[in-house]
Amino acid sequence: MEPINGVLTCQYGEMGNYKDGEIARLQDFKQKQSTKLLGESLEQHCEIEFNKLRATGFQTAYFEKDNDASGGTKGDYIYKETDTEGNEVMSIMFEMKTENDETASKKKNEDFLAKLDKDRIAKGCEYAILVSTLESDNEFYNTGIVDVSHKYDKMYVIRPQFFIPIITLLRNAGLKSLEYKSELNMVRNQNLDITNFEAKIEDFKVGFARNYDLASRQFKTAITEIDTTIKHLEKVKAALNSSVNNLRLANDKTENLTIKKLTFGNQTMKQKFENLKE
């Protein structure tokens, strides 16, 4: 029985060692499940994952290190994407944190959110995302994508394996938003065209009414002047008629004038005319 006990002891010892090794392997895998490659940093992992799809899925996207610390602080990476016409689809400020980072040692995810929000605003990004392996036993963050916008506007905390999916989700939302904005601008432009057309019609109506008013007043003035002229001409006509009548009477008187009439009752003139006859 001794040999048997020895064999059993050896087997149990090997099983115990295997169990301990497997537990350690699983723990190590859980800690590094999102980096996939041993020795690969979190930043390298995200950059590699992005570059795998850059040529096919992110042709108009920019994803580079944030090297601008002019504002006193900077994030890790900035993602920006535009459509083919140059309109911005969306932009993201990324911060990457692992337990191996000196700045992240024994810290929580929440400790980095305020700085991340400040960096997002400073660099003019729409979203802020903390890619983190911190608090590996926290089931809240282990769901993968955690929305913390109730604390900081448009901010998410994700596990590394959700790096590409979160970009895709936000990108699709950005494209849809851009589509809605384009349609809204088209409607606004159409309304503007209608407004401009109505404004032109109104200007024409106002201009026509002003010109009609001026013409109408000038026409009335001309009519008044004509009436005045007519009245004046009628007066002239009446005066001429009166002159003609007076001339006729004068002519009649001239024609009726005789020596006899001139000397009637005038003995002196009568005698002189008699003497002329002789």
Q: Is the pLDDT of residue 143 over 50?
A: yes
pLDDT score of 35: 43
pLDDT band at 250 (very low <50, low <70, confident <90, very high): confident
Assess contact for 129 and 166: CB atoms under 8 A. Answer: yes
pLDDT per residue as tens digits for the range 172-195: 888 888 787 777 777 777 776 667
102's enclosing H/E stretch is none
What confidence score (pLDDT) does residue 130 get?
96
State the distance between the two ends of the chain, measured CA to CA, in whole angstroms.
215
The DSSP H or E segment spanning 201 is helix 163-255
Residue 10: pLDDT over 90: no
Residue among 26, 27, 48 nearest 37 (CA): 48
